[in-house]
Structure 1
């Protein structure tokens, strides 16, 4: 794979919305480096995958209105930081993405009429029927839910038929698509190929974006409850290795391109280094 081809191949036939990609940029790059980014830097990194300046500005305004970002000005420049209310969401996503594979303490059966879409995603809720729901037990109950039953432990026998409540076919398709899109690049890098810093950063952001889109829908069922040949394990292994392989060059680009109020962002911080250690 020659220089210049990687991003074109990774984005071929791929639809990425501005708001979701901005969330990826903040979650992967900005949060571990102080949580603040200049709008000009955000526009520049989004342009690399074909997202226009107008779309970036509109999406950023909507993220501010939704309470996920906060804006501030310094002279003629606009900067956006992670809003305090969004820290829990970003921390949860980072825990799943970069930490060793975690297991829930068990499963919660809950009663509630309905949940907002954001709550469904955050808690990996699935409707069992009527007003009954099930979700992994991470030590926190969704707001507005009444506990009906707690199944402790990771033994599928404690909750028979666990897998049928989630769309594992659709989830597997997301994992398969991610492996098919990034597998050739991973193989090329392991064989000694190299990417320029600009391409490495863009490729890493796209990798995080697609893997995050699948992982945040994954209820993380016990292995014994999963279909045979489950592709989530292959997707996780690919993500961890490719992220590590892309990072040295990507960090060069971070320190050259992205700015906050004090100047360019650091290539690495203790927080970003801790993520890498967790992936090894």
Structure 2
């Protein structure tokens, strides 16, 4: 994590330790906004378009693809990416990879739903939400009434861990671009409800262990 720029070594009174880097803080802030999405981000009807320079090295190219996908972008062509909004992490990503890119705030001449259908596989994402919701209901329902704090903490951690995987799949498209009855909304409502309900006991366990 130090080599990747997420942590930096520091000297603490107790000995050697680590501190979050600005890169890590930005990632945590953006990830938290997308994981605990209490509301839908507004969309002004325009797209953020990135045209990156060709990357010859395969490993570097795949890393760039994975990182841009995580930030909510989709590839229209090998060097052209779109997203419903810009990411606060984009500058850091491109600078870290040493990649030059031209960026545009663009309006689409055409049907935005057709563009979305080409850029993202909403069918597969929707199925993943349905599967997660079914598994999450099973997970939470097996937690007995009055379960000890450590068990609540474990269950909530598994709930959050499964949900956060959608950061790598769901770009967070605005409701007007999603199908009617989008399963991601049902899954989101369930996650927010159960994550909030389990939080007090889970936090009590963490506080007690840290003390």
Q: Tell me how far 1:202 sits from its aligned partner.
A: 1.7
Say whether residues 1:108 and 2:56 are aligned partners: no
- For the Cα contact (< 8 Å) 2:70–2:167, is it kept in 1? no
Residue 151 of structure 2 corresponds to which residue in structure 1?
199
Root-mean-square deviation over aligned CA pairs = 3.0
**Alignment partners' CA distance in 1, 2:207 and 2:113:** 49
Say whether residues 1:98 and 2:36 are aligned partners: yes
Q: Would the alpha carbon gap of residues 132 and 75 (structure 1) be closer, same or farther in structure 2, given more than 3 Å must change?
A: closer
Aligned mate of 1:135, from 83, 87, 95: 83
**Alignment partners' CA distance in 2, 1:179 and 1:256:** 31
Q: Would the alpha carbon gap of residues 254 and 220 (structure 1) be closer, same or farther in structure 2, given more than 3 Å must change?
A: same
Aligned residues: 192
- For the Cα contact (< 8 Å) 2:41–2:174, is it kept in 1? no
- For normalisation by structure 1, the TM-score amounts to 0.58
Residue 212 of structure 1 corresponds to which residue in structure 2?
164
Runs of 5+ unmatched residues, structure 1? 1-62, 259-263, 265-280
- For the Cα contact (< 8 Å) 2:40–2:174, is it kept in 1? no
SS in 1 for 2:162: helix
Runs of 5+ unmatched residues, structure 2? 56-60, 95-99
Q: Would the alpha carbon gap of residues 244 and 178 (structure 1) be closer, same or farther in structure 2, given more than 3 Å must change?
A: same
Aligned mate of 1:119, from 58, 64, 67: 67
Aligned mate of 1:230, from 174, 182, 206: 182
Residue 124 of structure 2 corresponds to which residue in structure 1?
170
Residue 151 of structure 1 corresponds to which residue in structure 2?
107
